[in-house]
Structure formats: C-alpha cells, structure tokens
Amino acid sequence: MIKIVERNPVTTWISDRSMIEDFLTYEYEWWVDGLYHKEKKTATYSLVNKNGTFLSGFQKRVFDYLSRRRVEFEFESPDYGIKASEPKLKGIEFREDQQHALAEMVQVGRGVWKAPTGAGKTLLICGLVSAFHSTALIVVHTASLFNQTVQELERFFGKGKIGKLGAGLWEKKNISVGMIQTLNRHYKGKGNDGGWGMMIVDEVHHVNAIGGSYGKVLKKVLAPVRFGFTATLPKTEKGRMAMEGLVGSVIGDTTYQELKENEVLADPVVRICKVPETDRYKDLKGGYIKVYDRGIVNNRGRNQMIVEKACELIDAGLTVLIMVEKIEHGHTLLDMAEFMMPDVFCFLHGTTEDEVKEEEKELFEKQDRKGVIVTRIWSEGVNIRSIGAVLNAVGGESEIAAIQRFGRGLRKAEGKDRVYLYDFVDLNHKWFIKHSIKRMLTYLEAGWKLEKG
C-alpha cells in the first residue's frame, strides 16, 4: 500500500517515489555552441525530490495516474478548517457561466480556471472571497490590475488602505491585494507564511517557473485554498507544470461562445491588412532583435499604413487602441499621428506616471480620448468597454500576447455589437511570414472571423 501525505498546501510526500518519478517529469531544451552552428540539447527534469516530496498541486495528477495503474494508495491531509458557502455579492446576479465557474471552484478548492479576456475575472475573484470564510491574498503583477482589483473589492467589501509594505499592497480586514514584486521583496529571506487561508493568482500563466519570482512567493504562502485565472496557459511544458504544481490543475473553462451567447462579448472581426512588400527587408542580416527593429519598429511604410488606418477609423466614429511592443515604436507612431491628427492620440508605457495612465484610461472609457497607443501594460487586466477597434502593430508570434492584445476590445457596450481587430501581415522577411501565420491560426482557433482589411 502506497502512502501519500500532504505535509502542507505546498508539499506532499509519497512513500515510494519510484512509482511516480518517471511520470512526474518534463522535458526541457537549451542551445549550445557547436563546431559550425548552435546545437539543441534536451534533458528530463523530475519533479519528485529524492526524499519523495512533490508539489501539492500535482496531487490530482498523481492520484489519477496511480488509479489508472491500479496501484492502491492511502492519502492523509490536514484539516485546515476552512468553510465555504454560496458566493454572494450585494447587487450582483452572477451570469450562468459565472455561477458554473464559481460552483466548480468552491467545490474543488484548488486549481486554475481558464476565462477569456472580458469574462469578468475580477468579479469572480470577489465572488470567491465572499464564499470562503478565511483570510485571502490576491496576487497581481501590474499597477493597472492592482488598481482594478482594489476598486472591485472596495465596491463590495468597503474601503481598505495601502499596507505597511507600500504602494504594492492593499489591505482590508482579512483581504489583501499584493503585487508580485512587492511580495517578492517581502518574503525574501523569510520562512513560510501560514497566515493565509486562500490565495488567488490573476493572470496565472505568469507562474511559469518553479524557481521564478512567482514560485518563490507561492512556495512560502501556505494557503490551502489556491486558485488561478488566465485566458491562456503557459506555452512550455515547464511553465504548465510549474503552474499546476504551485497552484493546481485546470478545473474548467469559460469559452468565447458562452460569453457571446450571454451577450457579454461583442462579435470579433479580425481584418487582415497586408503590409506592402519591399525587397529592402527580405535579406536583413543579424539576429531577430535587429531584424525586428528594422522591419517592424522603423518600417516607415508599415507605420504610415497603421496610422492612416487608425485615423480612418476615428473619422468613422470609433475609438482606437494601437498596441506596440517597443517604446521607440510608440513614439514613432505618435509623431506620425500628431502630424495627421494633432492632439487626438496619447502614448502610454511602463514609465508613464500612474496618475497619467489612470487619467488617460478614464478619458478613453468616456471616449473623450479617441486614440491610445500603448505597450504591453494594457495587454492584461485592463477593462475598457468603449474600444471600437484594436490595431496590432506588434507583429510577433506569441499566441498569448495576440489574444490578450485583441481581448482588450471584446467587451460589449451600448451600441457596440462588434469589434474590429486589425492585424498587419508582414511578408517582407521569413520570420515575419512565420509569425503572421501563427497569429492567424491563433485567431481561427479562438473562433474569430477573418476578413480582408
């Protein structure tokens, strides 16, 4: 009989590690300099320590594996004494998809819920806080997401205050919201913290390495109830395993179709705009960063095409969000936009003062600001219903980034049944062609309609 004991919410012990050591592994790869070119190396990493300890988030995976092999085992777990009731928020009637998500999560008590941008994840977080009778720590990673989460919590649970750790921590009785950067500094060099009953990680796909910044915090916060929300899972097996081990397995998901049927999201139409071909960029030499700077950031024809499309959409009565990756790119587009439409656009990035970011966001929501150029600071956790069109000026291949960027505009609003998502397809370099194809496949897999821009 195999014995499995949950020592705490982070670590679990198995009496015979040989039963799972080959199963609980992931393969990783890296590149080394060879004689003539770089060579790929691969290796397998075991997630079971020599003493038989593994991360508690893998319990379901281990139980299912042993059951399939018909291996008998017994499991012991502490009684943490945390009770739960039906989620209730004053003045809120949860949608059917939200009721389903909350019921599943309350029943299981641990795991990840996939929900598209626009599903109302912050409201679900508040619902979980209302359901579990315990202390709660909510972990976020950006100032915008921090402010949004605090606003929603204060809406239902009353005003709180900035905590003793500074601007990155908000506290209200038994509820706290902490930015991962602040929590990392706080827990550095300290032991485990058993003062939390529940921990919720928003945008949990950032938990992509056991030894990363999230891993360091999540291993020290001994909260038995652990949830994560994300629109997309980590890209690598290493990342997915880290997320599962530290938080839990995927419990379920809310689909785009459900949200459209519940009239939450506008109908997304992806318009594909072909960037004019030129031989100038086809044979660019050097690494990807250099090629990207020449072919995307400083491609004058491409940039002019993007700005002209943005101005055309604003003239048609839409508000426009232009997403960029590089600050230099944002300034370039803003300079062009100022020439064509003075004082219509603004540019927001990581070093923009928080007060300015919030002010411009409010203006954009009210449609007093018609055009915003922004870096990835608005890729996650920013809800703006008024966006009429999103322009992806970034390029690149990341499916997570693509969905997050375009997800900004999907929320339905009065008089808004559809949102236009413009993607600029580059055929000027082999890397750009490959990345454009990957983005198109991402949109198709999400069920979004594609048409010529």
H-helix segments, 158-299: 180-187, 213-218, 237-246, 256-261, 288-292
Angle at CA of residue 437, ends 433 and 443, nearest 5°: 145
Cite the DSSP H helix spans in 16-58: none
- One domain, residues 309 and 222: no
Phi, psi of 60 (to 5 degrees): -60, -45
Q: State the CATH number of the domain containing residue 313.
A: 3.40.50.300
Of the listed ranges 17-26, 112-121, 173-182, 343-352, the least confidently predicted one is 112-121
Rounded Cα distance, 347 and 108, in Å: 43
Q: Read off the pLDDT band of 213 (50, 70, 90).
A: very high
pLDDT band at residue 239 using 50, 70 and 90 as cut-offs: very high
Domain boundary among 204, 232, 258: 258
The whole-angstrom separation of Cα 136 and Cα 452 is 47
Model pLDDT, residue 407:
59
Q: Say whether both 397 and 271 belong to one domain.
A: yes
Question: C-alpha angle with apex 72: 66 to 77, nearest 5 degrees?
Answer: 80
Separation between Cα atoms, residue 398 and residue 358, nearest integer Å: 27
Percent of the chain with pLDDT over 90: 58
Which position has the higher pLDDT, 261 or 88? 88
Is 91's pLDDT higher than 90? yes
Is 408's pLDDT higher than 60?
no
Averaged pLDDT of the chain: 88
Question: Considering the domain boundaries, does residue 91 fall inside one?
Answer: no
- Helix, strand and coil percent figures for the chain, each rounded to 5: 35, 25, 40
Torsions phi, psi for 396 (to 5 deg): 80, 175
Name the residue type at position 170. W
Residues 272-290 have a mean pLDDT of 79
Interstrand relation of 110-114 and 449-452 (parallel, antiparallel or unpaired): unpaired
- Give strand ranges (E) for 86-149: 110-114, 136-140
Integer Cα distance of 303 and 221 in angstroms: 46
For residue 168, what pLDDT band results from cuts at 50, 70 and 90?
Answer: confident
Q: Provide mean pLDDT across the span 221-242.
A: 92
Cα–Cα distance for residue pair 102/94, rounded to 1 Å: 9
Per-residue pLDDT tens over the stretch 360-373:
988 988 889 999 99
| Helix spans in 224-382 (H) | 237-246, 256-261, 288-292, 300-315, 327-340, 354-365
pLDDT at 385: 65
The residue to which tokens 């454009």 are assigned: 436
Same domain, 102 and 239: yes
Same domain, 141 and 226: yes
Helix or strand holding residue 64 (H, E)? helix 59-68
Calculate mean pLDDT across residues 31-49: 82
pLDDT reading at 165 higher than 80: no
Helix (H, G, I), strand (E, B) or coil at 416: strand
Q: How many Cα neighbours within 13 Å face the side chain of 141?
A: 19
Sheet holding 198-201, edge to edge: 161-162, 169-172, 175-179, 136-140, 198-201, 225-230, 110-114, 250-253
If we measure between CA atoms, which residue out of 314, 301, 255, 251 comes closest to residue 275? 301
Same domain for 30 and 133? no
Question: Which amino acid, residue 327?
Answer: I
Query: 280-301 as b/e, with b when 16 or more CB fall inside 10 Å?
Result: ebeebeeeeeebbbbbbbebee
Lowest mean pLDDT among 80-89, 92-101, 190-199, 437-446: 437-446
Assess whether 137 and 9 both reside in one domain. Answer: no
C-alpha distances in Å from residue 226, one per residue of 166, 188, 251, 281: 24, 21, 12, 48
Q: Is residue 83 part of a domain?
A: no
What is the average pLDDT across 406-427?
Answer: 70
pLDDT bin (cut points 50, 70, 90) of residue 180 is: very high
For residues 133-153, average pLDDT: 91
Looking at the structure, tell me whether residues 250 and 272 fall in a common domain: no
> Could you tell me if 279 and 223 lie in one domain?
no
Instruction: Tell me if 170 is assigned to some domain.
Output: yes
Residue 293 pLDDT greater than 80, yes or no: yes
pLDDT at 376 over 90: no
Q: With bands split at pLDDT 50, 70 and 90, how would you rate the model's confidence at 14?
A: very high
Give me the phi and psi of 298, to 5 degrees please: -110, 25
Residue 54 has pLDDT above 90, yes or no: yes
Out of 22, 48, 76, a domain closes at: 76
Question: Which element (helix H / strand E) includes 129?
Answer: helix 121-131
Predicted confidence band of residue 398 (pLDDT cuts 50, 70, 90):
low
Residue 295 — very low, low, confident or very high, per pLDDT cuts 50/70/90?
confident
Mean pLDDT for 164-190 is: 89
> What pLDDT does residue 414 have?
53
User: Would you tell me how many other CB atoms lie within 10 Å of the CB of residue 64?
Assistant: 11
Residue 205 phi, psi dihedral angles, 5° rounding: -65, -15
Q: Which residue has the tokens 């689909």?
A: 255
Q: What is the pLDDT confidence band of residue 236, given thresholds at 50, 70 and 90?
A: confident
Q: Are residues 177 and 274 in the same domain?
A: no
Inside any domain, residue 155: yes
Cα–Cα dist 72/69, whole Å: 9
Considering the domain architecture, whether residues 253 and 281 belong to the same structural domain is answered as no
Confidence of residue 67 (pLDDT cuts 50, 70, 90): very high
Would you tell me how many other CB atoms lie within 10 Å of the CB of residue 358? 13
One domain, residues 333 and 418? yes
What does the alpha-carbon distance between residue 375 and residue 348 come to, in Å, rounded to a whole number?
A: 7
Q: Does residue 280 sit within a domain?
A: yes
In a domain, 297, yes or no: yes
CA–CA distance, 20 with 118 (Å, rounded to integer): 39
Range of the domain at 417: 266-452
Domain count, the chain: 3
Distance CA 347, CA 329 (A): 10
Any domain includes 351:
yes
Q: Which of 258, 283, 307 is the last residue of a domain?
A: 258
**Is the residue at 407 inside a domain?**
yes
Give the pLDDT confidence score for residue 189 in this predicted structure: 87
Provide the CB-side half-sphere exposure for 327 (13 A, CA).
6
For residue 122, the one-letter residue type is T
**426 and 301 in a common domain:** yes
